[in-house]
Chains A and B, each alone.
Chain A
Amino acid sequence: MERTITVTVNGKTHTASVEPRLLLVHFLREVLNLTGTHIGCDTTSCGACTVLLDGVPIKSCTFFAVQADGRRITTVEGLARDGELHPIQQGFKEEHGLQCGFCTPGMMLVAKALLDENPNPTEEEIRWAISGNLCRCTGYQNIVKSIQWAARRMREAPAAGR
């Protein structure tokens, strides 16, 4: 039996009727057409499907859409504002933090949650924060540099990192 849920995604409120078994990642991709959230392993291992739930990163392949009723979701589409890339997105561009790009939305969202809480993380803290997200291209080095780049930019211009 379907249930009606109301979820705020990237600041916009959506109401939809969904089957309880619908996973949040499918709700985002197939109901809302927000395909920036990727499906990687589909087994809670890789973090490609990472989104923020009330600001906290989770794996949206392991969370039912009905559980998100009344809550706030941020996906990669919610990072840029008014056509301006978020400093984290700029950082990934400047420091070449991606090759194939499949893990990138998840990486950027865990970076967002980290920097919101800790504006000046150590390299160790960054590596710890991204340890639930797998990248098979970069060896992580440039991902760390990208997040460091974003941290510097956000400290210099805090408004850019809302």
Chain B
Amino acid sequence: MYPARFAYDVPGSVQEAVDLLGRYREEAKVLAGGQSLIPLMKFRLAKPARLVDINRIPGLNVLEEESGVLRIGALVRHRDVERSAFLRDRYPLLASAAPQIADPLVRNLGTVVGSVCHADPQGDWGSVMLALDAEVVAQSTRGERRIPVSRFFAGPLTTVLEPDELVTELRVPQPLARPFGTYLKLERKVGDYATVGVAVHLELEDGVVRRAGIGLTSVGPTNLKAQDAEAVLIGKALDDDVILEAARRAASAADPTSDVRGSAQYKREVVRVFVTRALRQARAARAA
């Protein structure tokens, strides 16, 4: 399958890239890992007149902590997250999710930022970033804008980005206390989209939850943040009553539809089971 014809630019800097996006706006699409965009172009579901290939811009592969945040640059591949020993210790949710994205070959090219910008409600990283309260950094010729991921998704495959904006990085707040994180994904086989995915991030101090984040995949028009479930955890110890109440609230935040992967009722039940399982894992990890 051949994509439709397009013009191709390879900017060497963020400034050049945003100049191009400013000039061509809706005509242009950003090419990073290409693992969602290129299949869409081959099916001709997307026919951008121009691709702005950011792969040769130096510095966009940044993956490091700086002034209270973890910076995940626009060219950080799923593979980079999967292989980072540092992230396993400091950001266990990122380390848990990375090896569950697509398959190894796709992970070698696809990017975390690209996946979030693609805004597929079945994408995994959006839920992870919602759980981590991450922020999107968008640049354009008009300057820089920071958007919390919780306000980034406008609908299926749609974000609040303007056509001239380039997302240069995601920023994840550094943990203040010892973090726990896990991504639980039900998939039919490697490389399939999640039937249901649940991202849980917790920071505990003296057995009490200081920060809690829960993101849900494939159970709504966008990745969802289970805010009511998060709220019930804050300031509490992880006893069974608290865990079951959080799981119940997460399940009611889910808004799944029935499809080939399962009925809406089934998916909501999986959310409840996964949140319970993750929180019990957090409790067990603390006891160990």
Segment with Cβ contacts to A, from B104-112, B121-129, B130-138: B104-112
Asked if B55 is an interface residue, CB under 8 A from chain A, the answer is yes
**A20 touches which one: B1, B7, B55, B191 (CB < 8 A)?**
B7
Q: CA separation between A110 and B5, bound complex, in Å?
A: 31
Residue on B with the closest CB to A106? B105
B55 to chain A: which residues have CB within 8 Å? 67
Contact A131 B104 (CB under 8 A): yes
Q: CA separation between A1 and B53, bound complex, in Å?
A: 16
Contact B7 A43 (CB under 8 A): no
User: Given known contacts A21-B2, A62-B39, A67-B53, is B103 in contact with A131 (CB within 8 Å)?
Assistant: yes
A131 to chain B: which residues have CB within 8 Å? 103-104, 190-191
Instruction: Digitize A91-126: 1 where CB-to-B-CB distance is under 8 Å, 0 elsewhere.
Output: 000000000000000000010000000000000000
Instruction: Digitize B191-204: 1 where CB-to-A-CB distance is under 8 Å, 0 elsewhere.
Output: 10000000000000
Asked if B6 is an interface residue, CB under 8 A from chain A, the answer is yes
Asked if A149 is an interface residue, CB under 8 A from chain B, the answer is no
> What is the total number of residues of chain B having a CB less than 8 Å from a CB of chain A?
29
User: Given known contacts A20-B8, A20-B51, is B108 in contact with A43 (CB within 8 Å)?
Assistant: no
User: Given known contacts A20-B51, A43-B39, is B7 in contact with A1 (CB within 8 Å)?
Assistant: yes
A59 to chain B: which residues have CB within 8 Å? 105-106, 109
Segment with Cβ contacts to B, from A7-15, A44-52, A154-162: A44-52
Contact A110 B105 (CB under 8 A): yes
Asked if B220 is an interface residue, CB under 8 A from chain A, the answer is no
Residue on B with the closest CB to A21? B3
Asked if A56 is an interface residue, CB under 8 A from chain B, the answer is yes
Contact A57 B104 (CB under 8 A): yes
Q: CA separation between A110 and B106, bound complex, in Å?
A: 12
Contact B7 A62 (CB under 8 A): no
> What is the total number of residues of chain A having a CB less than 8 Å from a CB of chain B?
30
Q: CA separation between A49 and B123, bound complex, in Å?
A: 24
| Interface hits, A59-73 → B, CB 8 Å | 59, 61-64, 66-67
Interface of B is mostly: loop
Asked if B34 is an interface residue, CB under 8 A from chain A, the answer is yes
**B108 touches which one: A3, A58, A66 (CB < 8 A)?**
A58
Tell me the minimal C-beta distance from A5 to chain B in angstroms.
11
User: Given known contacts A20-B8, A63-B38, A64-B38, is B105 in contact with A132 (CB within 8 Å)?
Assistant: yes
A132 to chain B: which residues have CB within 8 Å? 102-106, 190-191
Q: CA separation between A21 and B48, bound complex, in Å?
A: 11
| Interface hits, B11-55 → A, CB 8 Å | 31, 34-35, 38-39, 41-42, 51, 53, 55
Asked if A19 is an interface residue, CB under 8 A from chain B, the answer is yes
User: Given known contacts A19-B5, A20-B7, A43-B42, is B105 in contact with A63 (CB within 8 Å)?
Assistant: no
Contact A44 B39 (CB under 8 A): yes
B7 to chain A: which residues have CB within 8 Å? 1, 20
Contact A57 B108 (CB under 8 A): yes
**B42 touches which one: A42, A45, A67, A110 (CB < 8 A)?**
A42
Question: Can you list 27 A-B contacts with CB-CB less than 8 angstroms, sorted by A residue number?
Answer: A20-B8, A20-B51, A21-B2, A21-B4, A21-B6, A21-B41, A23-B2, A23-B38, A43-B39, A44-B38, A45-B191, A53-B108, A56-B79, A57-B105, A57-B108, A58-B108, A59-B105, A62-B35, A62-B109, A63-B38, A66-B10, A66-B53, A67-B34, A67-B53, A110-B105, A132-B103, A132-B106
Beyond contacts A43-B39, A62-B39: 4 other A-B pairs, Cβ-Cβ < 8 A, are A21-B6, A47-B103, A64-B38, A128-B104
